Chains A and B, each alone.
Chain A
Amino acid sequence: MVLVYSDDKKLALELLSKAHELAHELHKNVIAVTIGHEEFAKEYLEHGADIVIVAETSQHQFKAEEYTSILQTIMKDHGNEIILIGSNKNGKELAARLAAKLDAGCVMDCTKVYLLDKKLTTERIVYSGNAIAVEQFTAAPQILTIPPKVFDPLPKNEQHKGEIIKKKIDPEPSPSKILKIQEMKSEGVNVEDAEIIVSCGRGFKKKEDIKLVSDLADILKGRTVGCSRPIAADLKWLSEDHWIGLSGHKVKPKLYIACGISGQIQHIAGMRDSGVIVAINKDPEALIFKSADYGIVGDLYEVLPKLTSAIKGKLE
């Protein structure tokens, strides 16, 4: 069985596509699990699942201890050879705890998954984006997590029929307690879906100056403002949904404009798959230029207004 779980429906659909491919090669079935969301079941079937298990539980809020136990219960009945979990923060801590409980191998944040000599093989970025580790499982169960946007979901196929199994599961409650869940102040930005991203970094002297970036973004279609770690995590000038990098969002827009970003490898890891990369930095030695298609060496306070008006002229 190839089992798929994510608390993020969109990500689950992406995982189903890879699960379907692996299952086909290995002559196995694809099981999709949803915890508490019966309404996802039909869509999972239409996107590659052969069986959807709807776990009905009284534990509605995510706690890794309890969700691990729910997945273990399901695996007791349905097998547990390959388990694909959506790589967000909840997914990663769930995958690792599950791996401990099953004494299983686990590879996080896989960007490629394939069979090599009939063995499940993965690739992922390590050493802060300097290298790719190619790893291979030597025993089952095999757990891996996959980040958003790595695989495209299968096209919807209403003819693809399968079975929906509802299962009441009440895991042993964890002694920990969730006291409060607070949505972070977000500007509703989704950098991962953006076609064009204009991004800012430490080259900006104060929060107000980010307007130079949003002015440029505003005249570009599919515009979005992104930023490097210091702007979101340390200075908090922008909310974390703007943050692009190894521990922020990974993006692949068709145009990425990096303004005042030095090009630390952690940032590059988040945007290296962009179509065209433009860098603006006053330091000609800045690392970002090595990762750029086009670069302008200059003071962004001078460059950005001119670039904005030049692009505006071009688009009109």
Chain B
Amino acid sequence: MNIIVCAKQVVDVAEIKVDASTKKPILVGIPQKISDMDKNALEEAIKIKEKHGGKITILTVGAPDAKERMKELLAMGADEGVLVHPPEHADYHVNAHLLAGAIKKIGAYDIILCGEASIDMFSAQIGPRLAGLLNIPQITYAQTITVEPHKVLSERNLGEKTVSMESPFPVLLTVTKESNTPRLPSLMAILASSSKPIHEWPATGVAQEALVPKVKTIDIRGIPMQRKNIIYQNDLDVSISKLVDELGKVGVLR
């Protein structure tokens, strides 16, 4: 079973602070990590490999320092990594083409796993885009994955309903946060992972032509959140009576 797990290095959104004067998020100097759901995707890959054997390749499009983060994934149980350096200007169109190009270069594969979305942008675009470029079936929001010799069975979680699906190989699945708890690598595994290879490929090495973004970001703006911030914290009975009076006055109890 050849499995490719797409993983993205992202800023740790929990660490983002907002600049008090500009109200813009401060993105420089924020710790980087592998997006949470991509680790769920790898955990599924490892479980499949434990049962059926095979090879897990981590595929990342990102800056050179993503290599450090990819090592954590090798320690968790992936066999090797491929890091593609994107051109200066990239969007989902560019990145999906880079991933598709890299996958064609990697060669034979049965399953591609992605996180349902990345925690920084939360677009949920890359998985279905990649499946579209490779012209293979897609099963998004997978909460369970069962691999059999010639097919994969999966339950998609759509909130109000669950859809059970099956697909022959090759297939791309995107994995939800609730699907599993990603394992923590042991110290031995961390040490052993240093001998696992990470190949670095330039964009020109995987894309047939120069890729031009279809969408450009023209601003990242802060979100104004103007609230009254009236906090009552002394005598509870007094607090409650003040609160109820206020709610009555602003007209939300009618």
* Chain A residues close to B by CB (< 8 Å): 63-65, 68, 89-90, 92-101, 103-109, 121, 123, 125-139, 142, 174-184, 186, 196, 220-221, 233-234, 240-241, 243, 246-248, 254-255, 265, 268, 272, 275-278, 284, 289-298, 302-303, 306-307, 310-311, 314-315
Contact = CB atoms under 8 A, between A and B. Distances in A.
A130 B219 contact: no
B11 A177 contact: no
10 contacts: A93-B124, A96-B92, A100-B132, A103-B214, A126-B220, A139-B212, A176-B171, A181-B161, A183-B160, A247-B122
B159 A182 contact: no
A184 B163 CA distance: 10
Contacts of B91: 105
- Chain A interface mostly: mixed
Contacts of A95: 125
B140 A126 contact: no
B122 A246 contact: yes
A177 B151 CA distance: 11
B7 interface: no
Interface string B129-152: 111110001111100000000000
Contact of A293 (B217, B230, B240): B230
A61 to B, nearest CB: 8
Given A96-B132, A176-B165, A290 B229 contact: yes
Interface of B: 11, 13-14, 16, 18, 24-25, 27, 91-93, 96, 117, 119-133, 137-141, 153, 158-168, 171, 177-178, 212-223, 225, 227-233, 236-237, 239-241, 243-244, 246-248, 250, 252-254
B214 A295 contact: no
B158 A89 contact: yes
Contact of B120 (A126, A138, A177): A126
